[in-house]
């Protein structure tokens, strides 16, 4: 299993996630854009996820609801718009979080680049409206959720 790197650089308004997968970019891209597979990795093992809408194309909408597996099963709703989609290599979308508060709106770029070994270098950049908004997410345990979610993706494609 490849380690996931999560970077919270001081004073910046983004979070940068990188991960190497052994599968080709089109395989990783498919796992991360297939509405049937999203519930198997989105939000980590702590949550059950329902895909209410997912139209992976420029101008398409997406909406996921996650609920804690342990009571209380609080729902958390995320949604956005796809701004650019290049099959097998790029997804640019917004992510909004229904709970509000700092960092509820992000511009997210997912890149799937072929590596020299036939694998994929995956890079996710979540750009927040301010460094303060970004910093509001750090204490939420999101880092462990990111790592676990990408481990689950790896298990799907491995």
| Residue extents of the structural domains in the chain | 5-157
Q: How far is CA 103 from each of CA 22, 27, 63, 92, 140, rounded to the nearest angstrom?
A: 32, 30, 17, 17, 12
Is the pLDDT at 122 greater than 80? The verdict is yes
pLDDT (average), residues 19-26: 96
pLDDT of residue 44: 83
Q: What is the pLDDT of residue 1?
A: 46
Does residue 102 carry a pLDDT above 70?
A: no
First to last CA, the chain: 9
Class of the CATH-defined domain 5-157: alpha beta
């Amino acid at each position: 299993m490849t380690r996931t790197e999560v970077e919270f650089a001081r004073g910046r308004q983004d979070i940068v996630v990188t991960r190497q997968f052994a599968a080709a970019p089109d395989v990783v891209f498919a796992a991360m854009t297939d509405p049937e597979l999203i519930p198997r990795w989105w939000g980590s093992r702590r949550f059950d996820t329902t895909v209410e809408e997912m139209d992976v194309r420029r101008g398409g909408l997406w909406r996921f609801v996650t609920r804690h597996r342990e009571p209380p099963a609080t729902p958390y709703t995320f949604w956005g718009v796809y701004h650019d989609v290049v099959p097998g290599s790029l997804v640019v979308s917004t992510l909004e979080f229904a709970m509000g508060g700092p960092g509820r709106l992000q511009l997210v770029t997912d890149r799937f680049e072929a590596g020299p070994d036939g694998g994929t270098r995956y890079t996710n950049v979540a750009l927040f409206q301010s460094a303060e908004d970004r910093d509001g997410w750090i204490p939420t345990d999101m880092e462990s959720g990111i790592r676990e979610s990408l481990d689950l993706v790896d298990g799907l494609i491995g």
